[in-house]
Structure 1
């Protein structure tokens, strides 16, 4: 030491030494390594959170790597948790099936299928799946980046400008183009599935491929009923028919309308384009995201 530390450093050092002694030796003698590691995790967690006491509850440890921070979503077929890496201290998201469905083969297979799709998607506007995990009770789980804020959250706080609506639509079309190029229909383009990492909506990430389909297939093949967000799904999806990329374009049109309803001004050209995207007749919509993007760029060029 150079003498530049706090005046009570000697006391802090002594207390630290005493703490380490307690961590190593318990009432019954030398602690087991797993018990010692768990106590160290609790102390580290309390320091990270700047808490003035240790939590008495047993921490939930996932895959021996992540500690559970909170549940952020609980649905019929899935739940999402915010977790913290025990060594790196970084935040992540884990998606799994509810514990009550741990033995449901269809739910497990669908999540593994989503994981396979996610691991194969690499695009800046698509939320990445980092790994597929197996929980202690046998449930599959997907490890993803923790972003924390969706478009729905953003809209609940402030309106978008028309410029932001254009920017967001371009980013979403880029994500959908990558999706359609992979031979997939996303099937749930809605505000809750569009994640915004910061303030720039052009950094949008399309998430949740849980009900995505290969082009030309239907949800009935997977025994899924009422798939998607009702306000945004296409008529053919509501009817349970086989789906093409134009189904996502319908959802995009409904989304643009929704965004303009929440914008601080309207845009006639973009509003008209949204109407074209969301035609009831799938044959009158752009066939896919690439075709829709070309139309959007024409509207933007026309001012």
Structure 2
């Protein structure tokens, strides 16, 4: 039975998530519920399951997947790393390393304000965590005492970047702002653009809370707290002198007036009276340290009940009868064929399906099993492989029909040789498949040129569209723009070949046809690498080649992020390969 900080699973809680057996509930918040589980090796993990209403929003799913991919790159000493996730299943979730310790909010509520030395070490640890988070192109956006855990060896920052996923959903489009009002920055409270300096303001709020035991801008209705954050100075009455400069500078209304994270670390060192902070094993007050082992140490995973082997079905009983030698033999009972599937016994994972006897002479029925949706690149590869096999089979049987026994006879084209033939069916939307008319002889089709296309964050281009207009309907397209929580944006594609031409190189149909330095699938080209006139080549499985010329990007003062592109498209541009 869970103890201390752990709650027993309720009737409406799942027993497992994607093979992770759940041991207890850790808590619940605005984004979803958090459960305790364990890895196969026995390490405890925290699994956050997203609320169903968010999971039903396509824009949330897109943002959530983007933020989780970025969060997986964050590996810092003072962060709880993301170790597993499913952003595409019926109910998205992510798993992070479990941290044994209370939240800052719980520690202050139970034990009161923390001493100065602890607050300085806390602020320095959070600053280091934010350096790693911002380095991955993420802005936390919801840094608050309940997202800072106090472990025996230092603080841990959790839930970085996830709040951004909810900012653009239909649930928040009516004016609801994601985040905790008492710990928002003025720009976030006012609905303006949020950058890394917003997290510095929240760090100041967290440090003030740890030292004072209350919010620096007071409590009350959300609109009143937000008004004070935007228009009034913080109430720092009772704040120790050693923390005054650090907190006041972090709480500056103007983002540009706030210190950098490196300056925050320098302020913490200066306030501690040393050139470098040293984190002792007893950095927390004794009362807080005592409860960590007794209340927050993760319980062992529950043992898996032993699996009962299926009982063989008893054969029908027949009574022996006297038969004369010349009489026909009586019908014999059917043999009972039994097959027991091997069900591995694992200490941390429950089997998803018990063994079943296999009945003879029955057609197999499809078994519905939970599985993660394969990535788009895997789908494209599988479809492409299937089409190649089909094309090869057609060629083989065609040769048999013509009386030939050779699989490579005559001067005809090889089955599946054309790239368009091999992968043209991987995309939907009425695109052409098979050998393009203008490409069979390697001739150059007529290009279509589109000038000054503004491709915004979250939008994409589909080269088959005429005219070429950015889409915003989810899914994967030929070219898209994705921006992280910070200032990082990237141009990417899924299932196509994307290449960045050399600086100063003049792109053309021929240059794109011969370019083979493709970006790895799933990666994009960071916009910061592009200067005016830099060009990219995109080749699709259905015979389209596009030359994309980068012209400009949105200024820092813009309310939205976008890039301006010129796009030249050659449809039916990939030549077939002669045998």
TM-score under structure 2 length normalisation: 0.37
Deviation of 1:245 after TM superposition, in Å, equals 2.0
Q: Show the 5 A alignment for 1:24-103.
A: 60-64=15-19, 66-85=20-39, 88-103=41-56
Structure 1 residue aligned with 2:64: 111
**Are 1:276 and 2:227 an aligned pair?**
no
Cα gap change, 1:212 to 1:68, in 2 (>3 Å) = closer
Q: Secondary structure at the match of 2:126?
A: helix
Cα gap change, 1:268 to 1:91, in 2 (>3 Å) = same
Larger mean Cα displacement after TM superposition, 180-189 or 159-168:
180-189
Q: Where in structure 1 are there 5+ consecutive unaligned residues?
A: 1-45, 50-54
Structure 1 residue aligned with 2:155: 204
In 1, distance between residues paired with 2:14 and 2:157? 31
Which string of whole-angstrom CA distances, capped at 9 and with x for unpartnered residues, describes residues 238-295 of structure 1? 11211232211111111121111139x9520312320121011223211x31232223
Kept after mapping to 2: 8 A contact 1:97/1:108? no
Deviation of 1:123 after TM superposition, in Å, equals 0.6
Deviation of 1:59 after TM superposition, in Å, equals 7.2
Kept after mapping to 2: 8 A contact 1:133/1:143? no
In 2, distance between residues paired with 1:177 and 1:63? 32
191, 195, 201: which one aligns with 1:240? 191
- Which has the greater radius of gyration? 2
Structure 2 residue aligned with 1:12: none
Q: Which has the higher helix share?
A: 1
Q: Secondary structure at the match of 1:126?
A: coil
In 2, distance between residues paired with 1:302 and 1:270? 15
In 1, distance between residues paired with 2:245 and 2:87? 47
**Are 1:296 and 2:297 an aligned pair?**
no
In 2, distance between residues paired with 1:208 and 1:186? 8
Which string of whole-angstrom CA distances, capped at 9 and with x for unpartnered residues, describes residues 72-91 of structure 1? 33334322112245x54443
Q: Where in structure 2 are there 5+ consecutive unaligned residues?
A: 4-8, 215-237, 276-579
Cα gap change, 1:122 to 1:298, in 2 (>3 Å) = same
69, 74, 80: which one aligns with 1:127? 80
Q: Secondary structure at the match of 1:120?
A: coil
Structure 2 residue aligned with 1:169: 123
Deviation of 1:212 after TM superposition, in Å, equals 5.9
Cα gap change, 1:190 to 1:72, in 2 (>3 Å) = same
In 2, distance between residues paired with 1:61 and 1:219? 29
In 1, distance between residues paired with 2:36 and 2:105? 18
Deviation of 1:220 after TM superposition, in Å, equals 5.6
Cα gap change, 1:59 to 1:281, in 2 (>3 Å) = closer
Structure 2 residue aligned with 1:190: 144
Kept after mapping to 1: 8 A contact 2:163/2:179? no
Kept after mapping to 2: 8 A contact 1:91/1:146? yes
Structure 1 residue aligned with 2:485: none
Deviation of 1:190 after TM superposition, in Å, equals 0.8
Deviation of 1:134 after TM superposition, in Å, equals 6.2
Q: Secondary structure at the match of 2:205?
A: helix
Q: Secondary structure at the match of 1:80?
A: strand
Deviation of 1:100 after TM superposition, in Å, equals 4.3
Larger mean Cα displacement after TM superposition, 75-84 or 237-246:
75-84
Deviation of 1:161 after TM superposition, in Å, equals 1.6
Deviation of 1:205 after TM superposition, in Å, equals 1.0
In 1, distance between residues paired with 2:167 and 2:56? 21
TM-score under structure 1 length normalisation: 0.68
Structure 2 residue aligned with 1:16: none
Kept after mapping to 1: 8 A contact 2:70/2:137? no
Deviation of 1:113 after TM superposition, in Å, equals 2.6
Deviation of 1:166 after TM superposition, in Å, equals 0.9
Q: Secondary structure at the match of 1:187?
A: coil
Counting matched residue pairs gives 240
Task: Calculate the aligned-residue CA RMSD, in Å.
Answer: 3.4
